Structure 1
Amino acid sequence: MHGGKKRVGVLISGRGSNMASLIEAAQAPDYPAEIALVVSNRPGAGGLARAEAAGIRTATVDHKLFPDRASFDEAVGQAFVQAGVDLICLAGFMRILSDGFVEQWTGRMLNIHPSLLPLFKGLRPHRQALDAGVCIHGCSVHFVVPELDSGPIVAQAAVPVLPGDTEDGLAARVLAEEHRLYPLGLELVAGGQARLEGGRTVLASGSRTALGLA
């Protein structure tokens, strides 16, 4: 372990494309975080093989083997604690976490959602965006709170909606931005430039330029 780097646990359910972008970013010597453990709730999830190929420890905590959400969440939490994890990143994790788990990791758990929150929470945000007729869509990195897709925002990236856009075409362009934005959001939090305080994201002075908002 490099001195001062935050240890990050990643939760996945599938192919783990956002996880892969975090792993790639964390290979940089000056990146303030290292990926310590990848956990999937689905045995055989494609992202597990991708993580193992990158030399990252993996674990499977199959939600089907637990009687309720709280006991599953407890097992996931234990895996991260045993790995010495400081921060958790949700990367295509398709389970709703219990309030107790979320509160245990308050200010230390991030998610990326494919919309410009607070717009288009929940499922099929690209379909929601097209149905609403918006001109700008995008993605958001946010702290996780008990209410779905509602935590304070750390970073956002915008994508234009093009004439004749399909759900798949828009999703692909947003995903490319997700792969750029999630490593940035994690870098801000792991490096102490962004933190959760009083229910809001507080950015250190100078961090706005890192978000491309200068």
Structure 2
Amino acid sequence: MSKPKAAVFASGTGSNFQAIMEQPDLACDIALLVSDQPVAKVIEKAKNNHVPTVIFQAKDYKDKSAYEEMLADKLIKAGVEWIFLAGYMRIVGETLLKKFEKRIVNIHPSLLPDFPGKDAIGEAFRAGVNKTGVTVHYIDAGIDTGPVIAQAEVAVLPDDTEETLKKRIQRAEHRLYPEVINHLLGK
């Protein structure tokens, strides 16, 4: 029996993409990497893992709907059933939300609803909290507001710097995200 196909959307280095690819017995096949950054390091990781890529720049399209229609077409042609966001720095719009309803998942470096948005680790560190963590959640029309699937706590240690905290949060992400993917897809 063949595994369901998924796409990973990423804009940066691709550490979560790589963690997903290294997961033994992943419950899905990663059929595509989608990136909105033509020079993102994740693209090289996709090539090294023999994953086809779709690279686009939003500025080349008249609006979000136009590039999301293009993406939806490519995803459907590739047989993609699930989308996993891994450091994708764009807000997903209505076009993809409708076509992949309840099948778009994101990982965020905080214990949502605390510290949504782009600088979650920095905000948590500057706020002086004693714990933060990682959240895997479904995407909705808001920013980091979709229903939570799973969370993992990460302690903020007295001698932490923002960088040491970030490294521990990333280790938690790399453990949690592949586990959640397998759970969601019934493995």
TM range (shorter): over 0.9
| Match in the other structure for 2:9 | 11
Where do residues 66-145 of structure 1 align in structure 2 (5 Å cutoff)? 66-145=61-140
> Does 1:46 pair with 2:44?
no
| Match in the other structure for 2:52 | 57
> Aligned letter for 1:98?
G
Residues 61 and 75 in structure 1, CA contact (< 8 A), matched pair in contact too: no
Aligned residues with identical type, % of pairs: 38
Where do residues 190-205 of structure 1 align in structure 2 (5 Å cutoff)? 190-191=185-186
Residues 133 and 153 in structure 2, CA contact (< 8 A), matched pair in contact too: yes
> Does 1:181 pair with 2:176?
yes
Question: How much has 1:168 moved relative to structure 2?
Answer: 1.5
Greater relative contact order (CA < 8 Å, ≥ 6 in sequence): 2
Residues 140 and 146 in structure 2, CA contact (< 8 A), matched pair in contact too: yes
Residues 155 and 185 in structure 1, CA contact (< 8 A), matched pair in contact too: yes
Residues 103 and 146 in structure 1, CA contact (< 8 A), matched pair in contact too: no
The count of aligned residue pairs is: 187
Residues 26 and 178 in structure 2, CA contact (< 8 A), matched pair in contact too: no
Aligned mates of 2:27, 2:125 — CA distance in 1:
37
Aligned mates of 2:6, 2:172 — CA distance in 1:
21
Q: CA RMSD in A?
A: 1.4
> Aligned letter for 2:177?
Y
| Off by >6 Å, runs of 4+ in structure 1 | none
Question: How much has 1:46 moved relative to structure 2?
Answer: 1.2
Instruction: State the TM-score, normalized to the length of structure 2.
Output: 0.94
Give the gaps of 5 or more residues in structure 1: 193-214
- CA deviations 1:148-199 (Å, max 9, x no partner) are 101111111111101132222211110111111110111111127xxxxxxx
Question: How much has 1:4 moved relative to structure 2?
Answer: 4.0
> Aligned letter for 2:125?
L
Give the gaps of 5 or more residues in structure 2: none
Residues 108 and 144 in structure 2, CA contact (< 8 A), matched pair in contact too: yes
Aligned mates of 2:163, 2:70 — CA distance in 1:
35
Q: Aligned pair in 2 of structure 1 residues 127, 44: CA closer, same or farther (>3 Å)? A: closer
Residues 18 and 45 in structure 2, CA contact (< 8 A), matched pair in contact too: yes
Residues 85 and 104 in structure 2, CA contact (< 8 A), matched pair in contact too: yes
Aligned mates of 1:167, 1:40 — CA distance in 2:
26
Q: Secondary structure at the match of 2:124?
A: helix
Q: Aligned pair in 2 of structure 1 residues 51, 155: CA closer, same or farther (>3 Å)? A: same
- CA deviations 1:44-71 (Å, max 9, x no partner) are 3211111111111112122221111111
- CA deviations 1:88-137 (Å, max 9, x no partner) are 01111111121232232221011000001111111211122123322111
